[in-house]
Structures are given as C-alpha cells and as structure tokens.
Amino acid sequence: MQTIHPTAIIEDGAVLGDNVTIGPFAYITSKVTIGDGTTIASHVVIEGNTTIGKNNRIFSHGVIGSIPQDLKFNNEDVKLSIGDNNTIREFAFINPGTIGGGSLTSIGDNNLLMGYVHIGHDIIIGNHCIIANATNLGGHVEIGNRVVIGAMSAVHQFVKLGDYSMLAGASALTQDLPPFCMAQGNHAYLRGLNITGLRRNLPRDTINELKKAYKSLFEEGKALQEVANNYSTNSTSTAITQMSEFIQNSKRGIAFKRKIDV
C-alpha cells in the first residue's frame, strides 16, 4: 500500500514500489523509479533517469537527480542509481552522471549521507559509508566500502578513497587516500591508519600486518612505488595487497608527506 500526500506531484510514468510513502509537496518526475518501502519526506525533488532501491529514507528538501553542474552537459540521457537501505538527510544534493564520465552516478547500500551533502556527477560510492554534514564531493570521485568522511570536508574531482579509509572533518583532499588509512588537513595528508574503523571490522592479526606495511610504505623514506610493488608481488595478506595495488594504480598520487633521510 502506498501512502502519498495529496499535495505531492508525481508525473505519469514514475514507478513506485509497494509501501512507498511520499510526503507533502514532494515532486517526482516521469523517469523516476522508487523501490519498495522507501520513504520520501516533504518538499523532496527527484528528477531525471533516477532509480532508487528499497527501504531508503530521504529527508525533507533533498534534491535528487537534477542535472549535473557541468557546463558541458547538454541534456543527454544520464543516470543516477541509489541502492537499498540508505539514509539521505535534509537538503542533500545528488547529481547524475555525464557523458564524459560514464553517464552514471552510483550509490550502493546502507550508506548515511548527512545534511547538505553534495554528491557531484559521475561519483561512485560503495556500501556502509558515512558522509557527514556539508561535505562536498567533486565530480568523478570514487569511494570504496565503509569509508567515513567528516563534516565540512571537500574532495577534489577524480580523487579516490579506498575501503575502510577515513577523512577527518574540515579537510580538503586533493590526492588519493589508500584503503585502511586516515587523512586530515587542508590540504589533507595521511596521519596513520584508521585504527578505530579497523578494530570494528578486521581481526587483530590483519591490523598488525597493516601497521608494519604502513610504516614501511609511508614512514621510512623509501620509494613508495617500489615498496608497494614489493608488497603486491610477495605479500600473502589480502589487505596489504589491496593497499599496495591501490597505490600502484593511483593517478592523482597519494596524499602523504614524504620523509627524506638527511
């Protein structure tokens, strides 16, 4: 059973699943699909070729799927895909993709996007992420799983954040943040491993291995790519291999301050 407030405007063609709730003055355009059990609060706008999965909660005044803030955009058929069990708080602003970036913005499952968060065009977000209030993500950003971004942070376009990483509040990240690591500052650079997040999700042996690898990679003044290549070739740890391959594949470089022997 759907619960739709009489003041909501839903264009012909929009597809609504079972047990969808839509609040007062919401506006949903014709190409939108909303999955079962999703709740849309008052004054939410959902536009474009947007698919929203099951059991999401979208709070008031969110703007979902409006055209990307890209001057090259020329009304192409681009998409926004949002998975299941996400919470999107007040005044969140989420753009679809662009032709130049793959035509898709994708948000996975079980994420929390807090108030005033801006998700730019062609962004990929994994699962179980927390993006705090007033964070701004530039276009083409890629975020892994179980990533935490503190409030009022900014992430430069094309930057990648690996699984289990954390960006502290009020930071400006302009280079890639490897998996399992934490960065802070403006401009942000590595401050160590995301120990709290790792303790919640990984066994102690894996954390101890990551501590040794982090020291070798970032604190001993060695050539970063050489150390990463050695770990990728010889390590039996899945976590260390993941971190090393992330470093090897980085196009923007890693956000760390190199230590130089004197």
Residues serving a catalytic function are 121-122, 139
Query: For residues 32 and 49, what is the distance between their CA atoms, to the nearest angstrom?
Result: 6
Handedness of CA 183, 189, 192, 198 (dihedral sign): positive
Query: For residues 141 and 158, what is the distance between their CA atoms, to the nearest angstrom?
Result: 5
In the block, tokens 């090259």 appear at: 72
* CA atoms within a 13 Å half-sphere pointing along the CA-CB vector of 185: 13
Query: For residues 205 and 75, what is the distance between their CA atoms, to the nearest angstrom?
Result: 51
Residue 67 DSSP one-character state = P
Q: Which of 145, 150, 144 is nearest to 132 (CA)?
A: 150
Beta-carbon neighbour count of residue 195 at 10 Å? Answer: 14
Query: For residues 5 and 130, what is the distance between their CA atoms, to the nearest angstrom?
Result: 30
Backbone angles phi, psi at 49, to 5 degrees: -85, 80
